[in-house]
Amino acid sequence: MKNIAVLTSGGDAPGMNAAIRAVVRIALLEKLKVFGIYNGYQGLVDNQILPLHKKSVGNIIHRGGTILKSARSKDFQSKEGRNKAYQNLVEHQIDAVIVIGGDGTFAGAIQFTQEFNIPFIGIPGTIDNDLFGTDYTIGFKSAVQTAMECVDKIRDTANAFKRLFFIEVMGRDVGAIALATGIATGAEDIFIPETKTNLIDLSERLKRGTDKESYIIIVSEGDDKGGAENIAAEFKKTHPEYDIKTLVLGHLLRGGNPTAEDRILAARLGVAAVQSLIQKEFNVMIGIQRNEIAKTPLHLCKKHFLKINEEWENLIYKLS
């Protein structure tokens, strides 16, 4: 193991830069050469591969986004594209690749390792927190912090007018961001893809709280009723008594400086990823489980949905 490469892929997440920094710095300390692959798998196909040095990752630990950029790559999905990618890795004499991303990123890595004898290590970097094998993905807590601060601001103006806000958050088809944000902000209801949304239940719940100053409903973008705008339009038809507004937080949740916890998580996972390569533990995802580093075979690290137990039900429905 002499030369390794690192790339970021899929939706960027606050903390990805902290992970890149850890990978580069620990690899250089272990006398490895480190290459950055720019623009995700598309950059691997297009040979956008450059050496990284200690200073390449200076002053980025606190920055959102990714200095290596990301891309959704059609070329990498073809055998021809992956052949080109392999040739580029051979040309640079790269022995292994560390990929920072989500389930789509890992699917690409698994496909590649089945065709070419180049090992990969996965680092879970996505705000969705939707991966089997880790309690937290890099970026999740930062996204929840951002969402919570936005919702707190909305609560101020909603209280001024006794308004009902449907606020949509990202998460693709998993409700982790919505659930955490809803509980942290004392939302009156939380709609997630893992449970069927029932507007009659919502109506009953709101009626019981008629003396409230405002109503905040957090909606995961993957909700079965199609998101905040659709739900608000439907609810308005039968509830003219509410002054209803909607807000889609969208890509706001992808930006901003990573929280301390995400920076620390990123540093831990980045170091462990390089050490895994040195110890020849290949094709695993480096996760965190009960605050310990945990290695899971990459092919098992698929999308993982919420399990809403009684505790979560109580937190959602009994506290607001």
H helix intervals, 36-102: 40-45, 79-91
The nearest distance, CB 74 to ligand F6P, in angstroms, is 13
Tell which positions 65-104 bind ligand F6P, by CB under 6 A.
Answer: 102
Tell which positions 97-126 bind ligand F6P, by CB under 6 A.
Answer: 102, 126
Please give the structure tokens belonging to residue 293. Answer: 């580093």
Q: Which of 36, 119, 171, 193 binds ligand F6P (CB under 6 A)?
A: 171
Q: Check residue 258 for interaction with ligand F6P (CB under 6 A).
A: no
Q: Check residue 128 for interaction with ligand F6P (CB under 6 A).
A: yes
The nearest distance, CB 12 to ligand F6P, in angstroms, is 8
User: Starting at the edge strand that comes first in sequence, how are the strands of the sheet with 243-248 ordered?
Assistant: 189-191, 215-220, 163-169, 243-248
Active site residue 128: yes
User: Taking contact as CB under 6 A, which single stretch among the options 25-33, 164-172, 185-193, 270-278 is the one that binds ligand F6P?
Assistant: 164-172
Using alpha carbons, list the distances in angstroms from residue 109 to 103, 137, 265, 293, 316. 10, 18, 22, 21, 37
Q: Which of 11, 81, 108, 182 binds ligand F6P (CB under 6 A)?
A: 11
Q: Which residue is nearest to ligand F6P (CB)?
A: 11
**Is residue 170 a contact partner of residue 252, using CB atoms and an 8 Å limit?**
no
Tell which positions 259-298 bind ligand F6P, by CB under 6 A.
Answer: none
Q: Check residue 39 for interaction with ligand F6P (CB under 6 A).
A: no
- Which of 303, 305, 299 lies closest to 107, judged by CA? 299
Q: Check residue 170 for interaction with ligand F6P (CB under 6 A).
A: yes
Please give the structure tokens belonging to residue 174. Answer: 């998993």
Q: Which of 21, 69, 163, 254 binds ligand F6P (CB under 6 A)?
A: 254
Query: How many CB atoms are closer than 10 A to CB 183?
Result: 18
Residues 6+ apart with CB under 8 A from 169: 143, 147, 177, 178, 181, 218, 219, 220, 221, 249, 253
- The catalytic residue among 46, 128, 189, 262 is 128
Q: Which of 172, 263, 268, 295 binds ligand F6P (CB under 6 A)?
A: 172
Q: Catalytic residue numbers? A: 128
Q: Point out which residues bind ligand F6P (CB under 6 A).
A: 10-11, 102, 126-128, 170-172, 221, 254
